[in-house]
Structure 1
Amino acid sequence: MEIKGFLIDLDGVLTKDEKFSPIDGAVSFIKFLKKKNIPFVIATSNSRFPPEEICRKLKVHGFDIEIDNIISPLVIAPEVLRREGIKSLFVVGSESLKDFLRRKGFKVIDSPEVDGILIGLDKKFNFQKMKIGTTALKIYGAKLYALNNNIISRDDDGLLFPGVGTVARMFSQTCQCNRDFKHFGKMGEEYNRVVFERLGKKEGVAMISDDIFVDLKGYKTLGLKTIFVTTGKYAEKEAKDKDFVDMIVHNLMEIPDRIKIDTKN
């Protein structure tokens, strides 16, 4: 497999928890990419922390990266929301997400009388939030947005839960509205535009992820090579025999011996 650059998932690939503790081999793999001058972007759907905070936390754990190496939904969302005239938001998400959006000039309120509702990862999601979001969509005509389109996610304790995209689809199905809601994560139109601008290329790029269906299946349709890692939320048996998975590895440091690096273009 000849590779000119990498698109690398974060959770379950480089890090294993919300403390951003490195997965075995992850720090060494990034060092390998830097040493060989191989272009890479860390493409995360993390919606709990701004990119600057993610960068800082990764550096604390020894990752040799800069802010320009990271693309998250929070790079994309404010620009699109402003362009679509959204001024007030009901947010299903963390307090740090709400603070981030307020700093970007949005009115964030716990009320259904809003222009839009934005779904992020919310570990305190409850019945009250479900009611406010449903009312905002059904009664007040709010637009529905999601920070990513993940089907399933994995918590620090190893247990699985519905992903952000699944929660957004629940609201859409409930209200029979916004079925084509925009999301700001991987495989979103704006997200992909920024990713490939940063990489400067699409041809010869490989996607490394633990997400079989959103990341690997999605980016395969764009012509990327796909590498599945077994350190995240899906088991190896679920990736086997998938024609959109080009390689399966158990540690990122298996990759250098199984690829040919092409940095000429």
Structure 2
Amino acid sequence: RQGGRRTDNMMASWNNNRKIKGVLLDISGVLFESGAGVPIDGSVEAVKRLQSAGLPVRFCTNETTMTRNMLTEKLHRLGFSMKDEEIFPPIPAVCKVLQKRNLRPHLLVHPTAALDFEGIDTLNPNCVVLGDATAEFTYHNLNKAFQALMSMEKPILFSLGMGRYYKEEEELVLDVGPFAKALEFAADVKAEIVGKPSETFFSSVLEDMGVSPENAVMVGDDIVSDVGGAQACGMLGIQVRTGKFRPQDESHPKVKPDSFADNLLAAVDLILQASK
């Protein structure tokens, strides 16, 4: 243990072959517990240590229940320091895709997050965009999205992330993924994922940082979307034992993190060792 925190040995590839030049951090479950009004112990200090070390840090989230500006303000209230443009949620990314491809979405998203779609043409939809709509995931609303897809000659479905669940106020709750899978099955369409674990999403973050995948690390609480998605792009992945982490993640059949850490502060200990 270091300072009362347990840290695990990294795989040989971490210590021998990689020099960390950029860090990607999940937000919910890493910086703060979803639904909680306080940061996870040590997380504010951990972010400050990374920033003080001169490492570029980007905050990667599939959060779609609030606007990016609202999320930035919430993080500032919790004591974190970052700029709007250092936070990468899916909605600004999907808006760029919609504009580039001249697409008009039928939106099934959280009412608050809908503000980030201001200026996007939604008349006569030729695609569906699905976010974490929480209580808006009613039969009526899902059926409307299904009917929109079925009315299209070439249906296009965007899912803002593909998470299975997350933790909110000590309970696990359904994320957007199960609802996206329902629409995929019903409409016989494959969703285009915008957000984690999409390689396109991670690549856009790395490009913004000016860091290559082999010199970057992702820290997250979701072993599939955070760690698995990052590793599939060539990055290192650290799984923290906070947020939605469950003990069975340590024996996941498909994803093997480069390290586990009790929390973000312990993960930063490892990262700073590998950045020298």
Corresponding position: 1:83 with 2:100: yes
Deviations 1:235-257 (A, max 9, x none): 13322466631111112211343
SS of residue matched to 2:112: helix
Match of 1:212 in 2: 223
TM-superposition CA deviations, 1:148-180 (whole Å, max 9, x none)? 1212222x222223321221121010122x22x
What's the CA shift for 1:79? Answer: 0.9
AA aligned to 1:148 is: G
Asked if the contact 1:212/1:239 (under 8 Å) is kept, the reply is no
Question: Is structure 2 residue 122 aligned with structure 1 residue 107?
Answer: yes
- What's the counterpart of residue 114 of structure 2? 98
Q: CA deviation at 1:18?
A: 4.4
2:85 is the counterpart of 1:68: yes
Q: 1: distance between equivalents of 2:206 and 2:83?
A: 17
Q: Which runs of 5+ in 1 are unaligned?
A: none
- Please state whether the residue corresponding to 1:95 is helix, strand or coil: coil
What secondary structure, in the 3-state scheme, does the structure 2 residue paired with 1:107 have? coil
- Give the Cα–Cα distance (whole angstroms) in 1 for the partners of residues 98 and 178 of structure 2: 21
Amino acid at match of 1:104: G
Mapped partners of 1:76, 1:150: distance in 2: 17
Q: 1:9-39, CA deviations, whole angstroms, 9 ceiling, x for partnerless residues? A: 1110112124663111110101101111111
Root-mean-square deviation (Å)? 2.1
Q: How does 1:1-265 map to 2 (within 5 A)?
A: 1=15, 2-18=19-35, 21-87=38-104, 89-101=105-117, 103-107=118-122, 114-124=125-135, 125-141=137-153, 142-154=155-167, 156-176=168-188, 178-179=189-190, 181-202=191-212, 203-240=214-251, 244-259=256-271, 260-262=273-275
The 8 Å contact of residues 199 and 233 in structure 2, kept in 1 or not, is answered as no
Q: Unpaired segments of 5 or more residues in structure 2?
A: 1-14
Superposition TM-score, scaled by structure 2 size = 0.84
Task: Say if 1:106 and 1:190 are closer, same or farther in 2 by CA, change over 3 A.
Answer: farther
Once residues 152 and 65 of structure 2 are traced to their aligned partners in structure 1, the CA distance between those partners, rounded to angstroms, is: 27
